[in-house]
């Protein structure tokens, strides 16, 4: 009886892409006698265990040049045949072809066995009476010779892992090792710095001002086995962030391709964010669901099917980028200064495998977390007399930020720019929870017996070192400068406390500049003061540099 020889140089094209295992060729010379079993080892970090289904039994021997030769192909069982044939026929194999040899030859022709088809075969086998064999990753297993379809066990897929398309391997002859390629999504988080209109890992902001955060996910190319694919951002905010605007402000966008940036929307002055998607991006907010937890600390933003959103499996095969943008301002409970900051953390849930149930959370695993952080500062402005540097009560001041708003007595900002503040017995006015930038100061009314200065003088707060690749690497430098008769006194980056004075001369005193002494540095800060200027309008400067101990986290 003549034996049928199965020669498939590109049989199951997925093998070449995923594992690079031995080819199957026609025999060129006499071969060793076939054995009844063969050894196979699944390596890599895709999953800890696999379910293996034998599709075809065969006699298998080693050929030349690391090739394998399979003969006498037969269906592994009636259950396997009954599960596989409907899938193959629906994929285009003629209904007249029913034998194992015919099925194998059709799968080899024109590389019919794609990732999507192998997944359909696996689904059919899983729902049939076909029996699987459990394989532990990294451990050699003995299996009957033939073609096996290996499917990652969903229950054995952990954080940072993902089941790929099923792998077809020919077992028999010399030992076989396969290594599925890991293909897991990544997530990143950034906050919008209004001074530069750039997305950064760290920024500073004024309490209650709109503050936009961006979540970005990269779905890798090559995920061809999925019928649907959804991801879910899981965001945890510190107590200093206000969750009340999250749900209403959330916008979600998707773009095809794993490569490229994440500029899904435009950004502008004062931290504004556009709503219209940039070229190449699609707004999918209507297909997404955002849920904020009752405690306001955590929310989730779940996409709809990304494959459908991109227009089909062919586009999705190139990978995808997903961006979610939302507004979460600093609130009155926020941390001030660098020591703690106000961190915001995210991780991404993604499907465990092409076979996972995506209707709930059980079918998903997750990425490691990524974070961003926002800071805010406090400026205390003290009215002082040039005659002894004593604090002065009763000075009426107009303090305007770079948006034209003026500070009101209750600490809020008046958008019409008409509010003023009056110094108390300690001579102080505090601008609490303020962004870096320039504050313009006027003195509509001086204390009794003193002369108000004319025009406007500025105090400038500058934060450097926030544009970093990782929040933990940030070593922000806080600087305060002031135009005379304002005076820069101190800067404490750890607490975010800045001190400046406004000097008044007694009525009838010839104009002069009195700078007084600078406050000493404390803690981890080194403070540097410029020499007092001799003319009106010259700037005084104080710098505080925080050197973090141990590279610690900003998390509370």
Question: Which structure tokens are listed for 129?
Answer: 């009476």
Rounded to an integer, the average pLDDT of 134-140 is 94
Question: Which structure tokens are listed for 515?
Answer: 């700078």
Question: Which structure tokens are listed for 92?
Answer: 């285009």
Nearest of 397, 375, 371 to residue 384 by alpha carbon: 397
**Whole-number Å distance between alpha carbons of 391 and 331:** 31
**Whole-prediction pTM value?**
0.84
**Whole-number Å distance between alpha carbons of 381 and 480:** 12
Rounded to an integer, the average pLDDT of 328-342 is 96
> pLDDT digits over 351-409, tens only?
999 998 999 888 999 999 999 999 999 999 999 999 999 999 999 999 999 999 999 99
φ, ψ of residue 428 to 5 degrees: the values are: -100, 150
Which position has the higher pLDDT, 58 or 64? 58
Q: Using 50, 70 and 90 to split pLDDT, how confident is the model at 91? A: very high
**Whole-number Å distance between alpha carbons of 314 and 75:** 32
User: What are the CA-CA distances from residue 421 to residues 209, 400, 441, 488 (Å)?
Assistant: 20, 11, 11, 20
Q: Which residues contact 294 (CB under 8 A, 6 or more apart)?
A: none
Q: Using 50, 70 and 90 to split pLDDT, how confident is the model at 510? A: low
- What percentage of the chain carries pLDDT values higher than 70? 85
**Whole-number Å distance between alpha carbons of 234 and 116:** 29
482 DSSP β-pair partners: 459, 540
φ, ψ of residue 455 to 5 degrees: the values are: 75, -155
Query: Taking a C-beta distance cutoff of 8 angstroms, is the pair 51, 57 a contact?
Result: no
24 DSSP β-pair partners: 68
- Give the number of residues written for the chain: 556
Vertex 81, ends 229 and 55: CA angle to 5°? Answer: 70
pLDDT at 429: 97
Indicate left, alpha or beta for 471 from its phi (over 0: left) and psi (-120 to 50: alpha): alpha
**Whole-number Å distance between alpha carbons of 455 and 443:** 8
DSSP letters spanning 145-192: SEEEEEEE-GGG--TT----S-EEEEESSS-EEE-PPP---EEEEEEE
Please say if the pLDDT value at position 555 is more than 50: no
User: What are the CA-CA distances from residue 73 to residues 28, 60, 146, 170 (Å)?
Assistant: 19, 10, 8, 12
Please say if the pLDDT value at position 534 is more than 90: no
Looking at every residue in the chain, the average pLDDT score rounds to 86
Query: Taking a C-beta distance cutoff of 8 angstroms, is the pair 439, 461 a contact?
Result: yes
**Whole-number Å distance between alpha carbons of 340 and 441:** 30
Pick from 163-167, 195-199, 272-276, 519-523: least confident: 519-523
Q: Using 50, 70 and 90 to split pLDDT, how confident is the model at 544? A: low
pLDDT at 33: 53
> pLDDT digits over 464-484, tens only?
999 999 998 888 899 999 999
Q: How far apart are the two ends of the chain, measured CA to CA in Å?
A: 77
């Amino acid at each position: 009886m003549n034996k049928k020889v199965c020669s498939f140089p590109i049989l199951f094209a997925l093998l070449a892409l995923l594992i690079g295992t031995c080819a199957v060729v026609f025999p060129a010379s006499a071969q060793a006698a076939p054995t009844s079993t063969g050894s196979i080892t699944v390596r890599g970090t895709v999953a800890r265990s696999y379910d293996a289904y034998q599709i075809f039994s065969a006699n298998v021997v080693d050929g030349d040049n690391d090739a394998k030769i399979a003969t006498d192909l037969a269906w592994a069982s009636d259950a396997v045949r009954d599960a596989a044939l409907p899938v193959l026929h629906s994929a285009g194999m003629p209904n007249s072809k029913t034998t194992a040899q015919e099925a194998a030859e059709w799968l080899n022709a024109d590389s019919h066995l794609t990732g999507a088809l192998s997944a359909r075969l696996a689904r059919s086998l899983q729902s049939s009476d076909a029996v699987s064999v459990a394989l532990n990753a990294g451990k050699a297993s003995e299996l009957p010779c033939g073609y096996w379809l290996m499917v990652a066990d969903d229950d054995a897929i952990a954080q940072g892992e993902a089941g790929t398309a099923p792998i077809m391997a020919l077992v028999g002859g010399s030992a076989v090792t396969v290594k599925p390629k890991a293909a897991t999504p990544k997530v990143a988080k950034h906050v919008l710095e209004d001074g530069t209109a750039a997305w950064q890992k760290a920024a500073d902001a004024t309490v209650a001002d709109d503050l936009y955060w961006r979540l970005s996910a990269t779905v890798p190319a090559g995920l061809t086995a999925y019928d649907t694919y959804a991801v879910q951002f899981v965001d945890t905010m510190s107590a200093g962030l206000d969750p009340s605007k999250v749900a209403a402000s959330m916008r979600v966008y998707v773009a095809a391709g794993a490569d490229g940036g994440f500029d899904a929307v435009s950004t502008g002055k004062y931290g504004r964010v556009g709503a219209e998607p940039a070229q190449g991006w699609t707004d999918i907010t209507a297909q997404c669901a955002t849920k904020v937890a009752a405690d306001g600390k955590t929310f989730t933003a779940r996409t709809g099917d990304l494959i459908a959103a991109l227009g089909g499996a062919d586009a999705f095969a190139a990978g995808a980028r997903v961006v979610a943008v939302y507004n979460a301002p600093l609130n009155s409970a926020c941390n001030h200064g660098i020591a703690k900051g106000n961190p915001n953390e995210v991780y991404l849930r993604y499907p465990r495998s092409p076979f996972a149930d995506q209707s709930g959370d059980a079918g998903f695993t997750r990425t490691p977390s990524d974070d961003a952080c926002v800071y805010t500062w406090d400026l205390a402005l003290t009215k002082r007399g040039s005659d002894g540097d004593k604090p002065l009560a009763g000075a009426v001041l107009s303090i305007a930020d770079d948006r034209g708003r003026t500070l009101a007595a209750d600490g809020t900002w008046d958008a019409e720019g008409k509010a003023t503040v009056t110094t108390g017995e300690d001579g102080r006015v505090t601008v609490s929870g303020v962004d870096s930038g320039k504050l313009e100061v006027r003195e509509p009314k001086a204390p009794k017996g003193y002369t108000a200065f004319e025009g406007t003088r500025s105090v400038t707060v500058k934060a450097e070192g926030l544009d970093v690749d990782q929040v933990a690497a940030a070593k922000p430098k806080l600087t305060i400068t002031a135009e005379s008769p304002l005076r820069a006194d101190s800067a404490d980056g750890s607490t975010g406390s800045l001190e400046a004075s406004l000097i008044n001369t007694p009525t009838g005193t010839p104009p002069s500049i009195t700078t007084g002494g600078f406050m000493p540095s404390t803690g981890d800060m080194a403070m540097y003061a410029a020499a007092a200027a001799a003319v009106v309008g010259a700037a005084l400067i104080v710098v505080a540099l925080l050197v973090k101990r141990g590279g610690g986290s900003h998390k509370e």
